[in-house]
Copies of this chain bind each other. A is one copy, B any other.
Amino acid sequence: MAGKQAEAIGKLVVIGVGLIGGSVACGARQRRLCQETIGVVRDAETARLAVEAGVVDRACLNIEEVAPKLGEGDLVMVAVPTLAVEEVLRQLQVCLSSEVTVTDGASVKGSVAEAARRVYGLLPAQLVLGHPIAGSEKSGVSAANPNLYVDHRVILTPTAETGAGHLARVRQLWQGLEAEVVDMPIAEHDDVLGATSHLPHAIAYSLVDTLAHDIDNPNIFRYAAGGFRDFTRIASSDPVMWHDIMKANRHAVVHSLDQFMDNLTRLRAAIERSDGDYLLQMFTRAKTARDCYTRLSSPNDETPE
């Protein structure tokens, strides 16, 4: 992006001020990354909470109230559940100037790109798709945290259609929030996240459901060991959000699930035949990979409960 100096951000409009959008809004507001921070929320109570908590300067209930007044230099962030992005884009397509930069924070990028093509007939230059790799099993406006993205990675998935100025503006927002911005093709993003995030969530939900409902022991959780709490933390994540993600990225998730189930089936067979060599080699290989990952990843990737 050398030579492409982004202008300062004007108005920042965040549609959906839950964990992801609320953290962008209050992080940008506290750091004075934009002239005004406006939240678009679904009810008056959330609007009141968002303003009271200092997450936004002001909040309104309809995109149509704020979108027509935006122009070049302004930025709209769509931070609603993955499958709700299309309906928001449909509203923006009607009332938003093509000069306004639009980005999102959805966990799946291929489905959002498809939605945009359905709405606009193509991927508009103003639309910069992105995904901050930061989360928590918490949700809602009360989970907003101005430092959520500090030292976390944000993946942007620009295409040939993406406008360079719009891309620079979105990059500037995330860098202002102290995130590390990485570019990646849409398909690679969905494969990587399908394997490292969506697959673990499917496994965690399934494990907890198995123990709670398939196993005939009402006290099963009473004697769960310490590691169980960490291992199942992601099963406390928002069911609606994860319903959307699994549907939106179903091909990649099913592919990852198949690879995992193949591996687990081999492990099951090794346990059944008491194949000590297999067990020791596999556990050692996995421990080495996991210890190596721990050294690579930042301490801020830790998710406290």
Contacts and interface: CB of A to CB of B under 8 A. Distances in A.
A9 to B, nearest CB: 26
A208 interface: yes
Contact of A301 (B135, B155, B229): B229
Interface string A29-42: 00000000000000
Given A196-B221, A211-B196, A232 B290 contact: yes
Contact of A209 (B210, B222, B263, B274): B263
Contacts of A227: 135, 137, 197, 200-201, 233-234, 237, 303
Contacts of A213: 285, 289
A261 B259 contact: no
Interface residues of A, number: 100
Interface stretch (A59-67, A95-103, A164-172, A291-299): A291-299
A234 B230 contact: yes
Interface in A122-172: 133-137, 152-153, 155
Number of copies of chain A assembled together: 2
Contacts of A223: 133, 153, 155, 182, 184, 192-193, 196
A6 interface: no
Nearest to A269: B254
Interface in A240-273: 240, 242-243, 246-247, 250, 253-254, 256-265, 267-268, 271-272
Contacts of A1: none
A91 interface: no
A250 to B, nearest CB: 5
A86 to B, nearest CB: 15
A261 B264 contact: yes
Contact of A274 (B239, B250, B279): B250
A253 B271 contact: yes
Contact of A243 (B196, B236, B283): B283
29 contacts: A134-B225, A135-B225, A136-B226, A153-B223, A192-B223, A193-B223, A196-B220, A201-B227, A203-B203, A204-B231, A205-B282, A208-B287, A208-B289, A209-B285, A209-B289, A210-B259, A210-B263, A215-B259, A227-B237, A229-B297, A236-B291, A239-B284, A240-B280, A247-B271, A254-B271, A254-B272, A257-B264, A261-B261, A261-B264
Given A201-B227, A205-B286, 20 more contacts: A133-B224, A192-B217, A193-B225, A195-B217, A200-B232, A203-B264, A204-B231, A206-B260, A206-B263, A206-B282, A207-B263, A209-B282, A222-B296, A231-B234, A236-B291, A239-B283, A239-B287, A242-B279, A242-B283, A253-B271
The 8 closest A-B pairs by CB, nearest first: A212-B289, A239-B283, A226-B303, A196-B224, A208-B286, A221-B293, A227-B234, A230-B230
